[in-house]
Structure 1
Amino acid sequence: MINNVNNNSSQSSSQHHQTENIINRSPISRSERNYQNTHQQQQQQHQQQQQQQVFRNRNNSNIYPTYADQPDIVRASQKDDYYKKLFEDQCFEIFTRLTGPRFMMNRQQESKLLSNSLYFLLTTMIGSQTLGEEYCNLRQIKDSSFSVPSLLDRSRLYIFNLLAPYLIRKSLPRLFQKYPKLYHLKEYFPNLERLHLALFYFNGSYFNFSKRLSNIRYIFNRKVDQKRPKYHILGVLIIIQLLVQLVFYLKDKYQSYISSKNLEFTSEINNNNNQSSSSSSPTSQSSSNNDSKITTSSPGTCTLCLENRTNTTSTECGHLFCWNCITEWCNNKPECPLCRRPISVRSLIPIYNYQ
Structure 2
Amino acid sequence: MSSARIPSVPLAQQAQIIRAHQRDLIHVSSLREQTENILRSWFGTRWLTRFDKEVELSVRLMYHALTTGRAIQTLGEEYTNIWVHLKWARAPRIRAALVLLPTIPSYLLARLGPPLYARYPRSKDIATVAMNVIELASEINVALFYITGVYYRLVQRLLGVPHTSATPIDPNTRPPSYSLLGVLILVRLGHRLLSYLRSRPSRSVPSVSDEKSPEYDNLDGPQLDDRPVSTLLNYDPEADLVSTDKEEQPSVIDFESVPASVRAGRTCTLCLEERTATCVTECGHLFDWNCIYSWGRERAECPLCRQSLNLTRLLPIHNL
- The answer to whether 1:343 aligns with 2:228 is no
**SS of corresponding position for 1:303:** helix
Give 1:236's aligned residue.
183
**SS of corresponding position for 2:85:** strand
Query: How far apart are residue 88 of structure 1 and its match?
Result: 0.7
CA RMSD, 1 decimal: 3.1
Report if aligned partners of 2:146, 2:182 keep a CA contact under 8 Å in 1. Answer: yes
- The answer to whether 1:111 aligns with 2:58 is no
Q: Counterparts of 1:176 and 1:202 in 2: how far apart (Å)?
A: 39
Query: How far apart are residue 141 of structure 1 and its match?
Result: 0.9
Which of 158, 180, 197 pairs up with 2:99? Answer: 158
Query: How far apart are residue 183 of structure 1 and its match?
Result: 5.6
Relative to structure 1, the CA distance from residue 81 to residue 184 in structure 2 (aligned partners, 3 Å threshold; closer, same or farther) is: closer
Q: Counterparts of 1:99 and 1:201 in 2: how far apart (Å)?
A: 44
Tell me the number of residue pairs that the alignment of Structure 1 and Structure 2 aligns: 227
Q: Counterparts of 1:184 and 1:254 in 2: how far apart (Å)?
A: 21
Give 1:224's aligned residue.
169
- The percentage of aligned residue pairs carrying the same residue is 22
Q: Counterparts of 2:32 and 2:170 in 1: how far apart (Å)?
A: 36
Residue identity matched to 1:128 = I
- The answer to whether 1:212 aligns with 2:157 is yes
1:134-149 matched pairs, under 5 angstroms: 134-142=78-86, 146=87, 148-149=89-90
Relative to structure 1, the CA distance from residue 123 to residue 188 in structure 2 (aligned partners, 3 Å threshold; closer, same or farther) is: closer
Q: Counterparts of 2:184 and 2:140 in 1: how far apart (Å)?
A: 11
Report if aligned partners of 1:176, 1:183 keep a CA contact under 8 Å in 2. Answer: no
Query: How far apart are residue 117 of structure 1 and its match?
Result: 1.5
Bigger Cα Rg: 1
- Structure 1 unaligned segments of length 5 or more: list them: 1-45, 55-62, 264-301, 310-316, 320-337
1:1-355 matched pairs, under 5 angstroms: 63-142=7-86, 146=87, 148-177=89-118, 178=120, 179=122, 180-182=124-126, 184-185=128-129, 186-226=131-171, 227-258=174-205, 260=206, 302-303=209-210, 319=216, 338-344=217-223, 348=227, 354-355=243-244
Q: Counterparts of 1:235 and 1:166 in 2: how far apart (Å)?
A: 29
Cα offsets for 1:298-343 (capped at 9, x unmatched)? xxxx437x6xx9xxxxxxx952xxxxxxxxxxxxxxxxxx224322
Q: Counterparts of 1:346 and 1:71 in 2: how far apart (Å)?
A: 50
Query: How far apart are residue 184 of structure 1 and its match?
Result: 4.8
- Structure 2 unaligned segments of length 5 or more: list them: 233-238, 245-320
What TM-score, normalized to structure 2?
0.62
**Larger RCO (alpha carbons 8 Å, 6+ apart):** 2
Give 1:314's aligned residue.
none
Residue identity matched to 1:207 = Y
Relative to structure 1, the CA distance from residue 164 to residue 231 in structure 2 (aligned partners, 3 Å threshold; closer, same or farther) is: same
Query: How far apart are residue 202 of structure 1 and its match?
Result: 1.8
Q: Counterparts of 2:138 and 2:163 in 1: how far apart (Å)?
A: 20
What TM-score, normalized to structure 1?
0.56
**SS of corresponding position for 1:161:** coil
Report if aligned partners of 1:71, 1:229 keep a CA contact under 8 Å in 2. Answer: yes
